[in-house]
Structure 1
Amino acid sequence: MTSSIEDINNLNALNAQVVQLVEQGKLDVALDLAQQAVICGQKLQITEHSIFTDSLNNLAELYRLHGRYTDTENLYQQALNLRKQLFGEEHINVAESLNNLAVFHFSLGKYSQAEQGFLTVFKIWQRLLGYEHPQVAIVLNNLAEVYRKQGRYSDAENIYSQVLEIQKFAFGDEHHDIWRTFNNLAALYETQGRYLDAENKHLSALEMIKSLFGETHPDVTVSLNNLAALYDSQGRYLEAEQNYLEVLASWKRLLGDEHPLVASALNNIAANHKEQGRYLEAEQMHLSALAMRKRLLGEQHPDVANSFE
């Protein structure tokens, strides 16, 4: 059965709606539609078309955001294999899938795998797009984050400087990619004990993301959480608590009462209360986070162990 142009266009439209819903922060609705898109592609037998790889990729990303990590990796790998089959080893879309897998491995703490993936992506994108392309900046940013985690701070900061030059040349002074780089630079400064530099970068990132997307976007919550963690590390517990409470309320509004990010927010508040000597409140929060993580992630997940800290 040959896929009609109308079928392909319909699936492409579904994919575009998924992306739009994610940008609006409507993650649950986006997940439902992404699942429908994959089912639609299978029913219409468009599973060997590049549009279907976009559907797989969208669903994988939404599974990641919802904490369904096994499903995430399987779908990313399916998208990568199909793109290699369609386009060969060196293609923009293949590099995108490799980058997604590397980001996923980074999030699981598999830094060596992540580094190798990012270096492969960098070589492909640099050859195909040129050094000053925004896509090259994205993978350099990712590589710098790996170096930060590995304690290679000078290498990381040098790469971030290159990234900002590319991004500002491409986008101007405000863009989501620049927000991400600001967050990463702030994390690097904090790791080095440069707390004032870190705070200034986090505040700049927070104002930028609000300016770009409004107060209720998920990345506003990410910025608030970053600031709270910084304040906690400096002993500024009341400021940290205020931000953590905003983060908890925001994740519940966006994701519902049961989600790994909600559990993380509870755990952060518990640790904050413990630092303030509010031990009974801290214990209750820790137990709530632990129970939620067991329900969502299973007994063996690293975040379950973290709930005991």
Structure 2
Amino acid sequence: MTPPAGLPVDRPVPAGYAAGARAPWWVKLTVKLALGALPVPAGAWRAIGLRRHSFGALDPDRLVEPLASRARRFEEVAGRAPRAVLEVGPGAMVLRAPVAAALGLGPVWYLDVEDSAPRDLAPYRIAAEAARKAGLVPPDLSGCASRADVLAACNARLLVGGPEALAAVPAGSVDLVFSEVALEHVRRDALAPLLAALRRVTAPGGLGLHAVDFHDHLGGGLRHLRFGPAFWDGRAVARAGLYCNQLGLSQILAAFAAAGFSARASQRLVWPLPQLPPGGAHPDIGRAPEDDRICHAALEVRPA
């Protein structure tokens, strides 16, 4: 049964969703914290397959259709195709720049706190070929000798930094803003500046589409809510690559509203019972009880 207009479509969380490695949660936490304390750059961990962003980046199902579906949703809402787009926290998915260009999108902006985009040209050529197989016409990358050449051919640009990096994007110029499980990794004190910057660059009639995970990233529940901000927002958790901001859906929606957006959840994955740690969430987090059954949500955001 379809819910009334404006209400989210709720689905049960699949069994084993985001469960991670088969080990006790505390063991995984201890190992992650210990590895994070070692003087090893994050890039070195990713080079050996740990702390990687964008798992399955070259999965054919992730190359064309997710981007095409977002463009279609914008067209349904706005009555026209989008042009300028911005992806927040793309990680390796910058490699979809040829797909974006093949869809007629551009300029394409990518914002990330670190440069995790491939420098090798092969992933971009694979994405271009996936677009071609989907009946699109990607840019010709045969003359590209560097990633910079590829991005230029796709009318795309990678911005590395925090919200201040969006100063490079003209005000009111972006039709479509989206992110895939990135907003939960934005630090609490950086979320308001980021959303304010997104409001500045979003065009009148623009649309934001954001997928947000609310579960912990070691076992798929809410065990991370045991810890208060004094520890969880500290360096040890960040170095271990475990940080997610502990915010619930209602807090994320309120942050969008404070930035000048109208935001709603269009779809949610919901547990039958809250997956809280023994003793419940730490009182300093300030979670609303209704958020404790929500594992994941898809948000639609428009300028208010």
Band of TM-score, shorter chain: under 0.3
Q: Normalized against structure 1, the TM-score is what?
A: 0.27
The answer to which structure has the higher strand fraction is 2
Instruction: Determine which structure has greater relative contact order: mean sequence separation of CA pairs < 8 Å that are 6+ residues apart, divided by chain length.
Output: 2
